[in-house]
Amino acid sequence: MGRDETETYITVPSFFKCPISLDVMRSPVSLCTGVTYDRASIQRWLDGGNNTCPATMQLLKTKDFVPNLTLQRLIKIWSDSIGRYNTAGSPPPSGREVPTVEEVNVLLKRLMSLEKNDETRIEILSRIVRFVKDSDSNREFLSAMKEFVPMLVDIIRTKTKKIELVLMAIRILDTVKGDRERLSNLMLANDDGDCLTAILLAIQRGNLESKIESVRVLDWISFDAKSKLLIAERDGIITEMIKSISITESDPSLIEASLSFLITISKSKRVRSKLIAAKTITKIKDILMTETLTNVAVTEKSLKLLETLSSKREGRLEICGEDNGRCVEGVVKKLLKVSTTATEHAVTILWCLCYVFREDKTAEETVERSNGVTKLLVVIQSNCSAMVRQMAKDLIKVLKINSSALSAYETKTTHIMPF
């Protein structure tokens, strides 16, 4: 068992932990209120211009503090007893266990009173992250607090040089979420764009995990037609999303999150036009034509988004014209190869291109050239929905497969189960 695994099972006495950092105190000192803190943590608090006791919020009559030697000796005895620290200068265990509800209440009171001390706010938020990641009940506890989510939104909206502070707040929001309409209104109602600017910055500068969390928050607050349009028309957001679904540059988890968001906002006709103009279809074609892609969710969502974009004429023309029909070829390649859901999206796209509108013969030619007819014949015998099986029959008629050949094929493939 490694060191980190061993630490998980060590219970740290609560009075050994600093109320500010929640770490075991290295140099415990007491304020005039009688509350003991780690010297470094309380010094940062006081240096930040605060004149209250963080735990009790009492006004300090004096900012002087005195060493708590008795507690320091107890911590030293405890540290030695667990056999992990045998020198006086060695740090005691970090106490990185999940905070209790009581500790979180104290942290939140302090967080709401802090305005300028970003370092301390980051420290507090990191502990709240640990709390919300631990259980559903913890998330429900914070989500039910009336002032908690608005406080996080204020942190995101407030201009700060500490991007880590914004990333922490976004991480907690992504985990807690809460009421979708309420969060959307909080972040977008003022129409000042500050929240969207901060999230865009997080996508541009954050690590992979932060990017995914930021995209998921955008997806969550895309609550109705107005919010979807407002977010989509924010300068830079669609551009970043198109980058995020690049198969050559992005992680599959980021691609999946970005596709989900694009599907959400593409329900608006105006947004669909923007996505088509931004060359989203080119990126989808790259995903569909990548042989090494094994992520089922990414493929399904790529086809779902392409199906949505094919509802507009410029989208259909772009699909047929993309790299001499390669996008259509990519759709055919995914028939019967990924999942029932992927096949149903693929058939719907081909039905739209080749049967309903038939604006460009390239689509029909590509389907025939890519062995699409044979695959469509199998779809008719598959476990796809009745509507999709009928679409496959419509396509076969358009592709001029004679009824006797179709009948013979159906007889041979009665027991074919493609999935």
d(CA 38, CA 41): 5
Residue 121 pLDDT > 90, yes or no? no
Residue 249 pLDDT > 80, yes or no? no
The pTM score is: 0.74
Confidence band for 107, pLDDT divided at 50, 70 and 90: confident
Report the mean per-residue pLDDT for the chain: 84
Per-residue exposure over 63-76, b if at least 16 CB sit within 10 Å of its own CB, e if not: eebeebeebbeebe
Residue 6 pLDDT > 50, yes or no? no
Choice between 123 and 85, residue whose per-residue pLDDT is larger: 123
Q: Is 164 helix (H, G, I), strand (E, B) or coil?
A: helix
d(CA 138, CA 159): 29
Residue 242 pLDDT > 50, yes or no? yes
Residue 161 pLDDT > 80, yes or no? no
**Ranges 10-19, 37-46, 82-91, 368-377: which has the least confidence:** 82-91
- What integer pLDDT is reported at residue 390 of this predicted model? 94
Task: Give me the mean pLDDT over the 336-342 stretch.
Answer: 93
Q: DSSP string spanning 38-92?
A: EHHHHHHHHHTT--B-TTT-PBPS----EE-HHHHHHHHHHHHHTTS--STTSPP
Task: Give me the mean pLDDT over the 104-111 stretch.
Answer: 84
Task: Give me the mean pLDDT over the 5-29 stretch.
Answer: 74
Per-residue exposure over 135-151, b if at least 16 CB sit within 10 Å of its own CB, e if not: eeebbebbeeeeebbee
pLDDT tens profile 251-300: 899 999 999 999 999 988 889 999 999 999 999 999 999 877 778 999 99
Residue 113 pLDDT > 60, yes or no? yes
- CB-hemisphere CA count at 13 Å for 66? 7
- What integer pLDDT is reported at residue 82 of this predicted model? 64
Confidence band for 340, pLDDT divided at 50, 70 and 90: very high
**Helix count and strand count (H, E) for the chain:** 24, 3
Q: Strands of 95-184 (E only): list them.
A: none
Residue 344 pLDDT > 90, yes or no? yes
Confidence band for 116, pLDDT divided at 50, 70 and 90: low
Is the separation of the CB atoms in 172 and 152 below 8 Å?
A: yes
Confidence band for 192, pLDDT divided at 50, 70 and 90: low
Is the separation of the CB atoms in 378 and 412 below 8 Å?
A: no
d(CA 115, CA 137): 29
**Ranges 139-148, 212-221, 362-371, 407-416: which has the least confidence:** 407-416
Residue 8 pLDDT > 70, yes or no? no
Q: Is 131 helix (H, G, I), strand (E, B) or coil?
A: helix
pLDDT tens profile 28-71: 999 999 999 998 888 888 877 788 888 887 888 888 889 998 89
Confidence band for 245, pLDDT divided at 50, 70 and 90: very high
- What integer pLDDT is reported at residue 401 of this predicted model? 54
In the block, residue with structure tokens 């009665």: 414
Tokens of 261: 């968001």
pLDDT tens profile 389-418: 999 999 998 887 543 444 454 555 544 444
Which residue ranges form the domains of the chain, and what is each CATH number? 14-84 (3.30.40.10)
- What integer pLDDT is reported at residue 110 of this predicted model? 82
**Ranges 194-203, 226-235, 402-411: which has the least confidence:** 402-411
d(CA 292, CA 143): 41
Which residues are 66's β-sheet partners? 30
Residue 237 pLDDT > 60, yes or no? yes
- What integer pLDDT is reported at residue 101 of this predicted model? 85
Task: Give me the mean pLDDT over the 115-122 stretch.
Answer: 76
H-run or E-run covering 28: strand 28-30
Share of the chain above pLDDT 90, in %: 42
Task: Give me the mean pLDDT over the 353-374 stretch.
Answer: 88
- What integer pLDDT is reported at residue 415 of this predicted model? 46
